[in-house]
Structure 1
């Protein structure tokens, strides 16, 4: 596949972002392209809006998997690009259009040039939510085609093109959404003594939540609790009977995640008593930490340094979340950051990665799979 074809695919996909498990146009586009490839060694199966593609090797001893995510985000695009999103309020603001294009580029190479080992390409829906990796991992297809190792990448706007970021061990954090509904008793602003004010209760709870990390988590560990949205009330002179808090929790250890959630539950019970209300907690989507296999990661890093022109940046772990962690919990493998040199970060309405990074990634992964799959 030449560079012009890769750019055309990326721009086509960028125009049609879709939310998790709604990626119907995206799935059709991917399938149409996959079915255009030589099919002598390809075996294609669909799962919901996702796709599995197995490339049968010439003398297989193991199966190597490559995973890409395919969904977009509920963000109104503001890039001004000629190929910007055609779906109002939706955008590929996390680089999944890049991820898919890279996967198709690698798949194309091995459809024409198979290696000894089997390859499995996984086009996974719903990474941004509600989470597609875990159910896809547990699907009958994946159980039948369980790989021996698995890899993936994620674009990194802050890194230059031609650079990857990686480290063995923890790369991305454990994450959980957080939704808290408080229900009390509303009334007239002139008679507060007859009400149970949920604006006051919500404000008190937000303040209390900020003490959890500072007074319950080991200072040498890391955790974050962010309340990003509060919704309550209807007008200035009515005391609200309901408030909803929406936020996120991120931790570098599973144990800290459990501790944070227990403390949130305790504080919410206190709010119920103190403000005479009822409370409900919904943890929403929860993602397991991305933990790179030590041996495979070091082997890949050495390969990059010794066999390619790609610059390796040994990065630190990040508080970002990725449901690829569920796959790494069961299958040895790794994820790495791909430098795309954008002034705007992930989930930004003006994110515009440098398309030259696509070619770098395709070449790197093809070289690595040829080296790894013919050993």
Structure 2
């Protein structure tokens, strides 16, 4: 099976690692990807760009005897993180880093595309190099633009996410939900400011917001079935300007996570209930706002995922591991809510977690990861549906 060499993969990954860009700003990354793709055999390829989503790239590979179109997605954006790895190929863009491993994702996708450019697939294939996964919901944006229509609509979609917790090159997957859905929640508290010495003439929103936080902690522990999973975290609390002034305003920012969309909806409803109760108790205004965008739970299609797992266990058994669901979010969940498919892990064996300024995925994951994916896709094309 000829494909890009291990040395090629490492060089591509390091090149991409040095040019991380934030959501919808991935212009240098886009140009690098196009340059690499242009060096592949073009006989079976059609490259498509999107004027309304200018950093996205789609590549269609014409099949020799197609009965379906298989999609493969790789996200291309980075995070506003200052790199602290000390690597000789560290980020050249100050304050921005591939701290979630999307440089690895892109490298694997390029290698799989390169293989099928040289070995015409039986089925049609669609590769989607997607901007704005970390924020701004690039998958949702592309779908709502009508990108995946006609010959550009995959019948099934696959994609990976690197996992520092798995040995390098390990493929991990599970039936059901792989990643949680996530919803951003902001809460504004509006009361009356005043002098610290005359609290009876003010309405203190530090106290109201603190009471809100205290009650929120009981939602998961006392309102949710303990065998189901949900998370509510408020990571930002803003209030006040000076020690001797009671503030009439407070602002909270947080996130909700759930393995099922119904769980997220339950958590949203309970937060609204608590907000109403605090507003009555403290005679103030409490305004919660919620934004989910495209970050739905990543719910793997049962039939396609069983097929994927069965193949990996039978043919890459020493490389495959069944995994537990994770509370991290991924906007591939939106695409999987529209098009059946499977997301899986690629182990990158690192002691640092995703989004860490010291994340340094093992490049030993690249070659075995590519081979396992290519093997599966070729097998998948031998099936009738």
TM-score, normalized by the shorter chain, greater than 0.5 = yes
TM-superposed deviation, 1:37: 1.9
Matched residue, 1:238:
245
TM-superposed deviation, 1:350: 0.6
Matched residue, 1:9:
12
* Structure 2, unpaired ranges of 5+: none
Matched residue, 1:223:
230
Of 108, 112, 130, which residue of structure 2 is paired with 1:106? Answer: 112
Matched residue, 2:350:
342
Cα distance between partner residues in 2 of 1:241 and 1:12:
50
Contact persistence 2:188–2:287 (CA under 8 A): yes
TM-superposed deviation, 1:316: 1.4
TM (normalized to structure 1)? 0.96
Contact persistence 1:115–1:374 (CA under 8 A): no
Matched residue, 1:253:
260
Of 338, 347, 352, which residue of structure 1 is paired with 2:360? Answer: 352
Matched residue, 1:312:
320
Of 204, 212, 218, which residue of structure 1 is paired with 2:211? Answer: 204
Contact persistence 1:179–1:247 (CA under 8 A): yes
Of 26, 42, 47, which residue of structure 2 is paired with 1:44? Answer: 47
User: Runs (4+) of structure 1 moved beyond 3 Å?
Assistant: none
Deviations 1:126-168 (A, max 9, x none): 1111211122223322123111111111111011113221111
Cα distance between partner residues in 2 of 1:200 and 1:85:
43
Cα distance between partner residues in 2 of 1:307 and 1:139:
38
Larger mean CA deviation between 148-157 and 126-135 belongs to 126-135
TM-superposed deviation, 1:99: 0.3
Of 334, 337, 352, which residue of structure 2 is paired with 1:329? Answer: 337
Q: How many residues align?
A: 375
* Structure 1, unpaired ranges of 5+: none
Cα distance between partner residues in 2 of 1:33 and 1:157:
27
Larger mean CA deviation between 271-280 and 197-206 belongs to 271-280
Deviations 1:204-234 (A, max 9, x none): 1111111111222112211111111111112
Cα distance between partner residues in 2 of 1:152 and 1:136:
16
Cα distance between partner residues in 1 of 2:86 and 2:47:
36
Cα distance between partner residues in 2 of 1:201 and 1:83:
48
- Where 2:149 maps in the other structure, the secondary structure is helix
Of 158, 163, 167, which residue of structure 2 is paired with 1:160? Answer: 167
Of 171, 182, 185, which residue of structure 2 is paired with 1:175? Answer: 182
1:195 aligns with 2:195: no
Deviations 1:209-266 (A, max 9, x none): 1111122211221111111111111222222222111111111222221121111112
Matched residue, 1:141:
147
- Where 1:335 maps in the other structure, the secondary structure is strand
Contact persistence 2:63–2:122 (CA under 8 A): yes
Contact persistence 1:130–1:285 (CA under 8 A): no
Cα distance between partner residues in 1 of 2:84 and 2:287:
36
Task: Write out aligned runs for 1:31-70 (5 A).
Answer: 31-47=34-50, 48=53, 49-70=55-76
Larger mean CA deviation between 181-190 and 354-363 belongs to 181-190
TM-superposed deviation, 1:310: 4.7
Contact persistence 2:177–2:260 (CA under 8 A): no
Cα distance between partner residues in 2 of 1:310 and 1:154:
19
TM-superposed deviation, 1:309: 6.0
Matched residue, 1:281:
288
Cα distance between partner residues in 1 of 2:120 and 2:159:
20
Cα distance between partner residues in 2 of 1:323 and 1:113:
31
Cα RMSD over matched residues? Answer: 1.5
Contact persistence 1:171–1:316 (CA under 8 A): yes
Matched residue, 1:84:
90
